[in-house]
Chain A
Amino acid sequence: MFKQVLVAQWQTSKLAVGLLTLLSFCIPLLAVLYGGDLAGAGSERVGDWLVAADRVAQLLPFIALLVGLLLGTLAWSADIAGRHVYALSLPLPRGLYVSMRFGAGALFATIPGAAMGLSSGIATLAVALPPGIHAYPVELALRFWLASLTVFAIIFAIAGASRRGQVITISVIGAAITLDVVFLLFGVDYSVTAEALLLLTSWPGPLSLLTGRWALFDV
């Protein structure tokens, strides 16, 4: 049964998976474009190269976010389009069906992660690093995969939640934005949205993984 769900979900997700895999493969290689032989380079060149590698690294959490966001939404797109008739017609309990949908999406999220691991490995082999600078290809691939998996799981849960759950989620977000607008009108220097984002993205916030160090080449 999982195979059927996997194939059906692949039909809706294949374009996104393909593009995201390509993107995930190409971005780590960009760092190498700034130079490969740094073993005997002066500290000025090493500094410039570190800055460039860091700028490339700044793109990676956004790609992870995109992977999670797209795959999480696409996992339910066929069901939403068919008004859940297909899901209800299957002789499966809802829990098992949801788990299969989640498993298929998580498997697709692994493909861009693997591509990133592969290209990070290639980039590391292509560069002669100076002493004091290290490459983290495995850590980067793992971080990317876990980050996209986390975002995927959150979006998957929100998209697959009951109407009541979705209404609550949207209401909470809407209330935060409304409060921000009210504060702005009354000249109060406080943003609920900014505070909430800070809480979510700083450890032990659930999205802290997106804001840590993403550099393939680091000090």
Chain B
Amino acid sequence: MIALAALLVVCAAPVRGQSPEETDRRERRLLARAESLLAQEEVQAAATQGAFWSRFRPRVIQSRGATLVVGEAVPAASAQQALDSGLTLLRTFGAVPERFAGRLVLYGMVDTRRDTLSRLGFGSRRLLPVDVSQTGPDSAQSWSVGAGAVAWARAAAYRDSLDVDWRHWLPYGYAVPHWTRSHTWQAFEELTRSPFSVAGRCVAGEVAGCRLWLAIDRDAEPFASRFTGADLRNRLGESSWWSNTATASEVGHTCIEGVDAACVAFFRAQGYSDISAPETSRRGLLRVFHSLYGADAVERAVADTTGSIAQRLARAAGVNGDSLVMRWRYWTLTRGGQPRDRSTAADAAPGLVLAMVLLALVVRGRRS
């Protein structure tokens, strides 16, 4: 546009030797030409903008009572697949009841400028954004929704709807059963390399230590029972940020000088989590629980709102809380190892039976 305007100015300047009539005619012609070009550009811009916003026109995908609204740029088949697979992922783990799916509407890459979503008539259902990922170069962009993103968004919403104990304890993404070898290593390292004494007690086989590490009981004084003064002082020494913050406050200073109560007060004031185990350890406990007792038990446990986390898990599985914790300890320290539930003789029995059968065949047979 600027270039066009400059061209007009240059062209419109009176040229020496031209008559005034000739100049007027030329100016009018150029002006008409410029106006026509401008109109063409406006039409083109409107078309481009229309094409841009058409990608955000809502498309409603439904499956098993769940709804996903995505822009038209996301292929319908891919969105349908993401919704189906996301629901299957959640059902496989059992952490989100199916009826909960009907209470939500997930949306992503939708034009929300003119209240589009509420006009689609979802009533009182909660609207929840979901990640839409973009791939490919500018010339050939494509958009898609992942099953993991659908599952993650639903699980996060369900987690937020639970009682305070679960909300405090459950890590985000707990319901997406994506667990790799690196997670197993991470859970192992979290437990064996933790500076907290409860982790050491757990490694040494003390059930109470493991329960404190996992923070699955309702402790009256979570900080004081899960961390010792020495633990918290060690934490201060681990990073310059913590030590600077501590020296800057009076309570922190008192903590460094060796007063345990001051350490507890200092960390609590900093909003430091009162759960000793990091997220992967807690996700690991849920994973062990799921593999031992199944998706139904997970669903029952998460829907339970009575008692501590340990009591809910134990009730849902119909087992003793301590035995569950010890299974988790074994699983974590052996990096996913199966407990020695069967005796060596029971393990060997099928092989020996087969060997005997084969041997009997050889004894009866003839070489030919």
Contacts and interface: CB of A to CB of B under 8 A. Distances in A.
Interface in B322-368: 329-330, 333-335, 337-338, 340, 342, 344-345, 347-356, 358-359, 361-368
B contact residues, range: 35 or more
A156 interface: yes
A157 B350 CA distance: 16
A211 B120 CA distance: 56
A208 B204 contact: no
Given A130-B204, A157-B362, A146 B344 contact: yes
Contact of B363 (A54, A94, A130): A94
A47 B192 contact: yes
B352 A160 contact: no
B347 A218 contact: no
Contact of B351 (A47, A157, A207, A215): A207
A154 interface: yes
A147 B348 CA distance: 7
A161 B347 contact: no
B330 A98 contact: no
A154 B352 contact: no
B329 A209 contact: no
Q: Majority SS of interface residues in chain B?
A: helix
Interface stretch (B30-38, B71-79, B193-201): B193-201
B181 to A, nearest CB: 13
Nearest to B365: A162
A contact residues, range: 35 or more
Given A46-B203, A207-B351, A162 B194 contact: no
Given A143-B347, A154-B355, A205-B350, A44 B192 contact: yes
A187 interface: no
Interface string A127-156: 000111100000100110011011001101
A79 to B, nearest CB: 9
Contact of A206 (B205, B351, B365): B351
A72 B341 CA distance: 30
B206 A203 contact: no
Query: Which of A95, A156, A212, A215 has most B Cβ within 10 Å?
Result: A212
Nearest to A49: B192
A15 interface: no
Contacts of A161: 358, 361-362, 365
24 contacts: A44-B193, A46-B203, A47-B189, A50-B334, A51-B335, A54-B335, A95-B363, A95-B364, A99-B363, A131-B206, A132-B206, A133-B205, A143-B344, A149-B352, A150-B352, A161-B358, A162-B367, A206-B353, A209-B344, A212-B338, A212-B340, A212-B342, A213-B337, A213-B338
Interface of B: 188-189, 191-194, 199-200, 203-206, 329-330, 333-335, 337-338, 340, 342, 344-345, 347-356, 358-359, 361-368
Interface of A: 42-44, 46-48, 50-51, 54, 84, 94-95, 98-99, 102, 130-133, 139, 142-143, 146-147, 149-150, 153-154, 156-158, 160-165, 203-209, 212-213, 215, 218-219
